[in-house]
Chains A and B, each alone.
Chain A
Amino acid sequence: MTSEAMDCGRAAADGKIAAMKILVIEDDLEAAAYLMKAFREAGIVADHASDGEAGLFMGLENSYDVMVIDRMLPRRDGLSVIGELRRKGVNTPVLILSALGQVDDRVTGLRAGGDDYLPKPYAFSELLARVEVLGRRKGTPEQDMVYRVADLELDRLSHTARRAGKDLLLQPREFRLLEYLMKNAGQVVTRTMLLEHVWDYHFDPQTNVIDVHISRLRGKIEKPGSPALLKTIRGAGYMIKDGD
């Protein structure tokens, strides 16, 4: 896990992520200590609060890029912390951690103002990838109609993609896969994140279904002679990026 975290950290360290500052509200001190250490190794500055009230106070006083909030907290539960933050005009992206990792809970969590939801137990690589995507969200070119990575180009309006000026023949799902990867270019995207955003399912596909989709997409976008853009991040997921 540590080696992975460093892997992701390395992958991220050369981006703007080094400056990311997050708040972790988690009452399990051991889990929190582990998270603090792992985030630090990944180049993220993390503050910790061990109960809902303290977390709310810190969230209102300081400015963070992302907050990671456990659902069940002493003194004030996670959803109420989020509700209060939103009411006070704090729109920092929030990732909810929950031991109740089921569909219903996800829906209530997101409805309460959370931006992403991760059931426990989770792999740190998964949490890190999601925090990074949330943290960058502010700067994400949501309105950009054309995404570009090196000579790979994706036009969201005309639903076309080109590599080195040549049109790529993509299936609708392949297009959405590429679109999500390029929207988060330079960031690790996990298999579950892909299943969530491209297929809108939240379960864990048992076999390597996503891998095969990726390898097909790779076969269509990577050309001999051009540098590989779609990279596999071992133990974490995938990333589209120019250079190494």
Chain B
Amino acid sequence: MARFRLLFLSTAVRLSALFILIFALAAGALVLYVTAMSERLLIAEIRESLNQEVAAVQRAYERGGIGQLARVMDIRARQPGANLYIIAGPAGDMLAGNVASVAPGLFDKEGWTAEPFPYRRYQEENAKHPPRVAIARVVFLDNGMRILVGRDLAEPGALRFLVRRAIFVTVGAMGLGALLLWLFIGRNALKRIDRISDASKKIMAGDLAQRLPVSGSGDEFDRLSLSLNEMLERIGKLSEGLRQVSDNIAHDLKTPLTRLKNRATEALAAEEPDARRQSLEGILTEADQIIRTFDALLMISRVEAGSQAATLSDLDLSAIAADCVELYEPVAEEAGFRLDARIAPGIGIKGNRELIGQTLANLIDNAIKYADGDQADKTIRVNLAPGSGGGVELSVADQGRGIPADRRGDVLKRFVRLDESRSKPGTGLGLAMAEAVMALHGGTIALADTDPTNTDHPGLTVTLRF
């Protein structure tokens, strides 16, 4: 019962019911119109033929007087399916005719009877038979006699009845069929909605791997399920990413916090002022690193939220690249690298100077930190040129050990560092931030080998495409 009520509540069924109602009303109006029109036509035709009868009867009267009239009327009255023929006296009393009785007062007025009138035929006088209905024309003769010629209306009535019945039966059958069809569709839809809501309940209960059922028919339910499934996929990925990030945060903060605690213990135990001072400075360094990590995290999430989108302005990317190279040149040289800048002049983009500068600084910093080794070529190339696809490409290429192709996606994630021991200083957020910054600028970041033919030191090229 509850199911039936649900069925009735479903939009499909309610719309269907409304549709059936409107359809039935329209069909009914059509039936009435058609029958009314055909009846009018029929009556007009009847009148026409009665007029001819009346003319014939009048001619007979003019030719041979009342005797001829009576004879003609008698002959006509005897024909099968005949019209009504009555000869009445001046007082309206029936003298002759093929009708047993008519409504009284019928002969008072000459011309067409205003309304169809009831009458009875011979052998049908008892009340068992319903009275028949006819229309007629009354003519007054010059001798005061009256004649009536009429046509039984059983014929048009039957037609009307037939047409109406046919149409009502058709409409009824159609309505019933539609109702059944719609009930079936509604039930089907309801079943599928039940399945979808069951699946969503499971998802809400925490089973994010659950997916909505897809029937494979490609209908609108499937389309809805498919896009909801895509959404679930994305949510799943995001929550997985979130879980990973919080795991990594926990891990990345636990290490410096542990060191912080150790230094504090050390400082407390230190007897010498110099040793204590050194421990305290170590504590400061650790705390600075933690703050730096949080700053970078906050920065990434704000960049990802796009809150800085409003501050994009026209920038001279060439100048930013040159500034960054100039800023890092001494550090690179100190670390034994040559910073080789090939910067096309006058390249302008719309962007945030601070974020792009920081991103490029991070990339150069990474190259200096991670590309060290025993390779012969210790050059870091910073290239800025118009890209092949009409955009702008800014790349930092080193000749270090590179990143294996299967780890390149990982290093863009937060806190992922290939250097498992985390022996080099850094937050593990540089590339994640670069990716977020590029997304904000509607660009991309790509990692590739600098020289794929060199197996030992393929190097890493990070390309920013604006």
Contacts and interface: CB of A to CB of B under 8 A. Distances in A.
A103 B334 contact: no
Contacts of A199: 323, 327
A209 interface: yes
A3 B283 CA distance: 13
B421 interface: no
Contacts of A107: 311
Contacts of A201: 323, 327, 354, 357-358, 361
A219 to B, nearest CB: 11
Contacts of A104: 307-308, 310-311
A17 B292 CA distance: 31
Contact of B330 (A101, A102, A206, A212): A212
Given A3-B277, A101-B295, A102-B302, A123 B326 contact: no
B284 interface: yes
A235 B331 contact: no
B354 A103 contact: yes
B317 to A, nearest CB: 15
A169 B31 CA distance: 107
A235 B358 CA distance: 23
A243 B426 CA distance: 37
B179 interface: no
Contacts of A216: 330
A209 B330 contact: yes
A139 interface: no
Contact of B361 (A4, A101, A205): A205
B331 A208 contact: yes
Interface in B292-343: 292, 295, 298-299, 302, 307-308, 310-311, 323, 326-328, 330-331, 334
A102 B281 contact: no
A207 B369 contact: yes
A192 to B, nearest CB: 12
A234 B430 CA distance: 27
Contacts of A234: 281
Contacts of A1: 280, 284
Nearest to A205: B361
A235 B281 contact: yes
Interface in B366-389: 368-369
A86 interface: no
Interface in A1-56: 1, 3-4
B354 A202 contact: yes
Nearest to A234: B281
A205 B368 contact: no
A165 interface: no
Interface in B382-428: 425-427
B368 A207 contact: yes
Interface in A159-208: 173, 199, 201-208
Contacts of B291: 121
B291 to A, nearest CB: 5
A111 interface: no
A209 B331 contact: yes
A220 interface: no
A206 B295 contact: no
Contact of B327 (A101, A121, A204, A205): A205
Contacts of B292: 204, 206
A213 interface: yes
Interface string B338-372: 00000000000000101101100110010011000
Nearest to B310: A104
B5 to A, nearest CB: 54
B211 to A, nearest CB: 39
Nearest to B330: A212
Nearest to A212: B330
A203 B354 contact: yes
Nearest to A198: B327
A68 to B, nearest CB: 19
B247 interface: no
B207 interface: no
B155 interface: no
A221 to B, nearest CB: 15
Contacts of A235: 281, 284
A173 B288 contact: no
Nearest to B426: A206
A102 B307 CA distance: 10
Contact of B295 (A173, A204, A205): A204
A232 to B, nearest CB: 14
Contacts of A4: 284
Residue from A3, A201, A216, A234 having most chain B Cβ neighbours under 10 A: A201
Contacts of A212: 330-331, 334
A202 B298 CA distance: 15
A206 B284 contact: no
Contacts of B299: 102
Contacts of B358: 201, 203
Interface string B125-158: 0000000000000000000000000000000000
A4 B277 CA distance: 10
A203 B357 contact: yes
A207 B331 contact: yes
Contacts of B425: 206-207
Contact of B311 (A103, A205, A207): A103
A154 to B, nearest CB: 20
Given A107-B311, A199-B323, A216-B330, A207 B365 contact: yes
B327 A209 contact: yes
Nearest to A201: B357
A160 B172 CA distance: 104
A69 B369 CA distance: 38
A173 B280 CA distance: 34
9 contacts: A102-B299, A102-B302, A103-B354, A121-B291, A204-B292, A205-B327, A207-B368, A207-B425, A212-B334
Given A103-B311, A205-B361, 5 more contacts: A3-B277, A103-B352, A123-B288, A201-B358, A203-B361
Interface of A: 1, 3-4, 101-104, 107, 119, 121, 123, 173, 199, 201-209, 212-213, 216, 234-235
